[in-house]
Structure 1
Amino acid sequence: MSRLSALNTRLRLLYREIAKFGVVGIAGIGVNLVVFNLLRETTHLQTVRASIIATTVSIAFNYVGFRYFTYRDAERSGRGREIGLFVFFSAIGALIENGVLFLATYGMGWDGPLANNFFKFLGIGVATLFRFWSYRTWVFRSLPAKAVEQAEAILLTDAEHAARANATRKY
């Protein structure tokens, strides 16, 4: 396989991973914001406390989505290690997410439904970048080499298969 073809295949795999991460992430954001707003409207919890609870619920939701959808082909050995790392990196993401909300609410005095949701969403966005990097790097390890070759074979078009077959023929 040429370097350009290998790069193209890797980019397609990364694109699919990002798309799947995004689907789970968007659903998790929905869970996070719905729980946050329900807690703010139905309880007398302070803003950041309601946000921490909502973040925790969405972390549990996201783990299931990532494990069984986004990274279903990743290594399955060491489930305890995987969960421990997921919780560790999720906690750092929660600190980032809720730190943004805390600074806006208590540091700058921007406390109201619109401001709370804006800064909650901003915090989620910043934390998502960290979470994507840490989950794919440390928690859900990449596929073994043989599985990558199988995934590449699935992604190749018929023309690419033919070109690969012609390149390997000996004349």
Structure 2
Amino acid sequence: MSVLAILTLRMRHAIRGIWREAAMFGAVGVLAFVMDNGGYNLLVFGLPGAGVGPMRSAPIQASVVATGAAMIFSWVGNRYWTYRHQRREEATYELVLFTFVNIVGVVITAGTVFVSRHLMGLDSALSDNVARIFGWIVATLFRFFTYRRYVFVAP
């Protein structure tokens, strides 16, 4: 077999593996996103028609709470599904790394709400959600690359 054919097969295999991993990571992420944004909107804006959530006056803290709950779901989903074949034996160490990476993600997501609310003066449901979606995109890219490089790595 030629060197070019071997390289082509290796590239094809690597790309297929990345796409599969990204799809599984994405599925867990979509569910965590729904939990995060749904939780945030319930905490800040309440049930539809109710008008006020219990954390209406604390949107940044509500963002941290909602993202924290989604983070726990994400760790379980990624550990036992996405990265089930390459997770660490020591779950505690893995969880510490995962938590650190996600604290950075929380700061990114809450930071976009802070910028929207306090630097741009926006406080509507639309502006909060646009800021959070932008933060989620940046935080998700950060998480994907750090999970596969540092967190879910078989020893």
Q: TM-score range by the shorter chain?
A: 0.7 to 0.9
How far did residue 58 of structure 1 move? 0.6
User: What residue ranges of structure 2 are gaps of 5+ in the alignment?
Assistant: 47-52
Q: Are the counterparts in 2 of residues 100 and 122 from structure 1 also a CA contact under 8 Å?
A: yes
Structure 1 residue 119 corresponds to structure 2 residue 131: yes
Quick one: which of 6, 10, 14 aligns to 1:10? 14
Find 1:99's aligned residue among 111, 133, 155.
111
Provide Cα deviations, 1:113-157, integer angstroms capped at 9, x if missing partner.
111111111111111010111111100016x8xxxxxxxxxxxxx
Amino acid at match of 1:35: G
CA-based RMSD: 1.4
Unpaired segments ≥5 residues, structure 1:
145-171
Structure 2: how far apart are the matches of 1:87 and 1:96?
14
Larger Rg belongs to: 1
8 A contact 2:86–2:152 mirrored in 1: yes
Runs of 4+ in 1 over 4 A off after TM superposition: none
What is the percent sequence identity of the aligned residues?
A: 36
Give the Cα–Cα distance (whole angstroms) in 2 for the partners of residues 75 and 21 of structure 1: 14
Contact 1:39/1:45 (CA < 8 Å) preserved in 2? no
**Equivalent position amino acid for 1:105 in 2:** R
Q: Give the aligned partner of residue 68 of structure 2.
A: 56
Alignment: residue pair count: 143
C-alpha distance in structure 2 between counterparts of 1:9 and 1:49, whole Å: 43
Partner of 1:72: 84
- Normalising by the residue count of structure 1, what TM-score does the alignment of the two structures yield? 0.80
